[in-house]
Copies of this chain bind each other. A is one copy, B any other.
Amino acid sequence: MENKFQTYNEFIEAFNKRKEVNYFNVTPIALKELDEWVFIGNKSYLQHVSGKFFKIEGLRVKTNFGTVPHEWDQPIINQPEIGILGIITKVFNETRYYLMQAKMEPGNINILQLSPTVQATKSNFSQVHKGKLPIYLEYFINRKKSEIIIDQLQSEQGGRFLRKRNRNMIVEVKEDINVLDNFFWLTLEEIKELLKINNFVNMDVRSIISTIPLIPSSKIPFCYKTYCNKKEILSWFIDQKVKYELETEKISLTEMKNWNISDDCISHNNDDRFSVIGVEVQAKTREVISWTQPMIKDLNIGLVGFIIKKIDGVYHFLVQTKVMPGNIDIIDLSPTVSCSNYILTKPPFIDYFNGNKKSKIHCDTIQSEEGGRFYHFQNKNMIVEVDENEILDIPENYMWISYYQMRQFIPQGMFNVESRSLIAAINFI
């Protein structure tokens, strides 16, 4: 891991120093204490007084996905605009580097995490914040200043966001760039190493990094054996879209069955579900010095995990289609297991993750969801390999997909953010 700017250990040290420099205090507060956030129309929904940023709305969900057709209500984040999650890359002496940021988000359990060069909402562009334009954003907007390497629309959490996507970008610059405080040039190898640390690399980085193939497509053999060919997988994916129905209807927050809207928070009758709380933030490095905002809080540590297996010598991933209420197109490709209360609900294949059945663990870390909306929201991220001879009984909404096929489907936005978080961590193929 050669890095001409600093060694790996020097980086870790410098990163930790940023925590001391950047004062950042986050306090949970009651919803009624929120500064510029108000309930509209008899607690119909919660929004910023400007009408910008995002809304917390009520959603009624009907789907035939799951064991029985079912229906439920839940709060959801509605932020229809498409933001930019962007990383600047530059080649120095034939080595490619990525410009990473030590950035604080109010929901981060450890406050500071490794973030992309830029995380910008459309509100940032149009300066609703009334603050400064995010630094380095010009390289993503002005096409003359960079060459686009990656530019893909990718979805956010379909369980919490309504049809939310961000533009995942990597742009290459040739000119010299002034590296500001909190920014570091890192190699992909180093970022992959940092992914082995709990809650270090933020969700936005993981999403962007997942789009970078470990093996350049020019080096993938033209013919390789796969369990199903591309056409068969795409037909299966359409089968699933035809089969599963998702009907959503916006309702007033107060109409939501099993949810309570108090002055403090929006919470479920069942304590172990997520809730909507307020937080107060005081910071020096944000575009605005201090602010309050609603956040989604979930203290459960969930599990997202892929089972992988060599089929004819080629790594295959066991993906499942999953209907989530905020999905843009009914289903996404989800990890083998993706579950908030996996200990209680015992989802299919859980035995390969908890040691009840034999598997080889490639990754096992705890990672945070995006700290701008999610408060202390963590998932165990695991990739486990089963023996080539292990026979798994695969339900019809699961499919073995090779690593190479995965690479072809990612740019089309077929993998959900939980999958991409896991794919980012792959360094063993």
Whether, in the assembled complex, A329 has its beta carbon less than 8 Å from a beta carbon of chain B, the answer is yes
Tell me, in angstroms, the Cα distance from A166 to B148 when the chains sit together.
34
When C-beta atoms are compared, the residue in chain B nearest to A153 turns out to be: B238
Closest to A328 in B: B329
Please name the 10 residue pairs, one residue from A and one from B, whose CB atoms are nearest each other, closest first: A82-B242, A151-B235, A148-B235, A153-B238, A167-B238, A151-B238, A82-B241, A148-B231, A167-B242, A151-B234
Chain A residues engaging chain B, CB cutoff 8 angstroms = 80-82, 122, 143, 148, 151-153, 167, 231-232, 234-235, 238, 241-242, 245, 247, 249-250, 328-329, 412
Given known A-B contacts A167-B238, A242-B122, A231 and B151 have beta carbons under 8 A apart: yes
Q: For the complex formed, measure the closest distance between the CB of A142 and the CB atoms of chain B, giving whole angstroms.
A: 12
Complex A-B: 24 CB contacts under 8 Å: A80-B245, A80-B247, A81-B242, A81-B245, A82-B238, A82-B241, A82-B242, A122-B242, A143-B235, A148-B231, A148-B232, A148-B235, A151-B231, A151-B234, A151-B235, A151-B238, A152-B238, A153-B238, A153-B241, A167-B238, A167-B242, A249-B250, A328-B329, A412-B412
CB distance from A52 to the nearest CB of B (A): 12
**Considering only CB atoms, which chain B residue lies closest to A249 in the complex?**
B250
Q: A81-B242, A148-B232, A152-B238 are in contact. List 20 more A-B contacts (CB 8 A).
A: A80-B245, A80-B247, A81-B245, A82-B238, A82-B241, A82-B242, A122-B242, A143-B235, A148-B235, A151-B231, A151-B234, A151-B235, A151-B238, A153-B238, A153-B241, A167-B238, A167-B242, A249-B250, A328-B329, A412-B412
What is the bound-complex CA distance between A241 and B167, given in angstroms? 10
Majority-rule SS of A interface residues: mixed
CA distance A235 to B143 in the complex (A): 10
Task: State in angstroms the CA–CA spacing of A81 and B167 once bound together.
Answer: 29
Whole-angstrom distance between the Cβ of A384 and the nearest chain B Cβ: 31
**Complex-state Cα separation, A329 to B153, whole angstroms:** 11
Q: Which residues of B contact A242 (CB under 8 A)?
A: 81-82, 122, 167
A231 proximity list for chain B (CB < 8 A) = 148, 151
Contacts of A247 in B (CB 8 A): 80
Complexed CA–CA distance, A247 and B241 (Å)? 24
Residue on B nearest A242 in the bound complex, by CB: B82
Query: Which chain B residues border A82 with CB–CB below 8 Å?
Result: 238, 241-242
In the assembled complex, the CB of A149 is this many whole angstroms from the nearest CB of chain B, namely: 9
Contacts of A249 in B (CB 8 A): 250
Instruction: Collect the chain B residues with CB atoms within 8 Å of residue A122's CB.
Output: 242
A245 CA / B52 CA spacing, docked (Å) = 14
Docked Cα-Cα span, A351 to B100, in Å, equals 51
Smallest distance from the beta carbon of A314 to chain B beta carbons, Å?
23
Q: What residues on B are CB-neighbors of A148 within 8 Å?
A: 231-232, 235
Alpha-carbon distance A245/B249, docked complex (angstroms)? 20
* A26 CA / B232 CA spacing, docked (Å): 42
| Complex contacts, A241 vs chain B, CB 8 Å | 82, 153
How far, in angstroms, from A412 to B247 measured CA to CA in the complex? 23
Chain B residues contacting A238 (CB-CB under 8 Å) are 82, 151-153, 167
Bound CA span A238–B167, Å: 8
A179 CA to B245 CA in the complex, in Å?
A: 35
Give min CB distance, A260 to chain B, whole Å. Answer: 26
CB A57 to nearest CB in B, in angstroms, measures: 12
